A and B are shown apart, each in its own frame.
Chain A
Amino acid sequence: MKNLKAICAMIIWTAFSIFVLYSLGAHIHYREIIWAIPTSISLLIVHMINMIIYFTITGKEPYKWFKAS
């Protein structure tokens, strides 16, 4: 259940981030280095925050071998 919650939160966060980048026109100006650098940094931060979202919501639960007990 926590896995599902985490994945939903990650999808929402990623969709929001992509929407912001799209609204700013990052997909048009990517060949201009002044756009490419912040776009790349933003994408890396989006990925890292996604990982933190997963860690925070699921904790150690996904790695337990016997969840029923």
Chain B
Amino acid sequence: MKTFYVNARYLIVPVMTIATILGLFIGNYFAWLGVILFGLNTIVDTLTKNIHLRADFDDNGNSYGIKRLQYAVMYLMLPAFIFLQVILAWRLYQYTSVTSFETLSFLGLSYQSGITGFNLIGSVLSAGLWAGLGIIYGHELSHNRKEGFLVSRLIMALSGASHFTYAHVYNHHLDLGHEDDPATAPRGRNVYSHAWLSHAGQSQYSYDLEREKLKKQKKSFFSLSNKWILGYLYSLPSILLFVWAGGVLGVLSLTVIWAISNFLLEALNFMGHYGLIREKGKPVEHRHSWDNDNLFTSWFFIEIGRQGDHHVRGETYFWELDDVDAPNYGIGYFSLFVLTLFPPVFRRFTQKLLDDWDENKATVAEKEIANQFKNLSIS
């Protein structure tokens, strides 16, 4: 029973992704289901902000997590996210072809053929939000050294961010808490500028890495050995699908999906490390990440909120990550995400937490860097 409970609790995103796909398929107002679910999750996350659980182990210290099951789920999210884009493309095709409205049936399930402009907007927003939330699987699999790494690249490519897989492991994890890591947001930066800077910075890391590597190998930059180029090529099927299905409207829709999903990804990076500082060359410790480990955030985001433990034990399975007394916002990702959308409110919220970090967790060198921010009136 315990084994079932520990493994089933991580199925919230797969179930809700399927619900979003079904909503797009059924059509009419169900096209907005993905947006509604996102809103409901924010409420549930806020209501459960005070429930914090530890990782579950049996008496012998073994985890209840079933590796094969959890990996099968993560791998199956790739076809699920592809299907999400295919269903949206089908709706775009109907809209641009001015398909007439009628109720039809498929395998006993009634759906509305044809879609209004209003419901198409709902479909695009739903797909964008759930493509963005699905990025948690791209993140988790980026730490796999086998086939999972490629699956991660392919999941991220659906959002035009295949470069993430390399940059996350070889840049973010190694340079965390320092300006060499574009995914670490310094004090004073807002989530909007961070979303672009972190996205571009990670792509630039991958671009520079490949340029240097190919130069050493005396190969041309324009080669299929170039993983930066290859990563973008993985996104080509998505572009082709949306161009063919919707023309200009299809390109605009894909742009919105990529913008939303990358914004959500970078918002996670933003929340995970905002304002925390590490002296260059010093080891990454628990204090260099913010934990978000309330019940709903932990289960929904497959423990990605246990950043303190994750950054010290990067290859540990998510179901084994635990509370390590890292700095903690005390609220979940959904609630905190809403705060980040209002930068002055977010800064006011984090002020006391950062002051506490400076006072009780920072080393002398880290405090000196923190003081440089204060001297610039950034706190």
Contact = CB atoms under 8 A, between A and B. Distances in A.
Interface centre among B208, B243, B250 (most CB of A within 10 A): B243
A23 to B, nearest CB: 14
A48 B228 CA distance: 10
A55 to B, nearest CB: 5
Interface string A28-43: 0011010011011101
A48 B373 CA distance: 34
Contacts of B200: 51, 54-55, 62
A68 interface: yes
Contacts of B251: 43
Given A43-B251, A55-B204, A36 B243 contact: yes
Given A51-B203, A62-B197, A30 B247 contact: yes
A65 B179 contact: yes
Interface string A7-47: 00000000000000000000100110100110111011001
B248 interface: yes
B237 to A, nearest CB: 9
Nearest to A32: B244
Given A44-B236, A68-B376, A62 B201 contact: yes
B160 interface: yes
B372 A40 contact: no
Interface in B184-230: 186, 197, 200-201, 203-204, 207-208, 229
Contact of B244 (A31, A55, A66): A31
A64 B369 CA distance: 13
A64 B44 CA distance: 38
B182 interface: yes
Summarize A's interface: helix, strand, loop or mixed. Answer: helix
A51 B207 contact: yes
Contacts, number: 63
B38 interface: no
Interface string B238-249: 011001101110
A52 interface: yes
Summarize B's interface: helix, strand, loop or mixed. Answer: helix
Contacts of B179: 63-65
Interface in B76-106: none
A33 B245 CA distance: 11
Contacts of B160: 47
Contact of A63 (B182, B207, B244): B182
Contacts of B244: 30-31, 33, 36, 40
Given A62-B197, A63-B201, A41 B236 contact: yes
A3 B250 CA distance: 29
Nearest to B163: A51
A8 B236 CA distance: 26
A37 B232 contact: no
A66 B197 CA distance: 15
Nearest to A39: B243
Nearest to B242: A40
B235 interface: yes
A40 B236 contact: yes
Closest 5 CB pairs of A and B: A30-B247, A40-B240, A36-B244, A40-B239, A65-B179
7 contacts: A31-B247, A43-B239, A44-B233, A52-B207, A54-B200, A54-B204, A55-B207
Interface of B: 160, 179-180, 182, 186, 197, 200-201, 203-204, 207-208, 229, 232-233, 235-236, 239-240, 243-244, 246-248, 250-251, 372-373, 376
Given A51-B203, A55-B204, 5 more contacts: A30-B246, A51-B204, A54-B204, A55-B207, A62-B200
Interface of A: 27, 30-31, 33, 36-37, 39-41, 43-44, 47-48, 51-52, 54-55, 62-66, 68-69
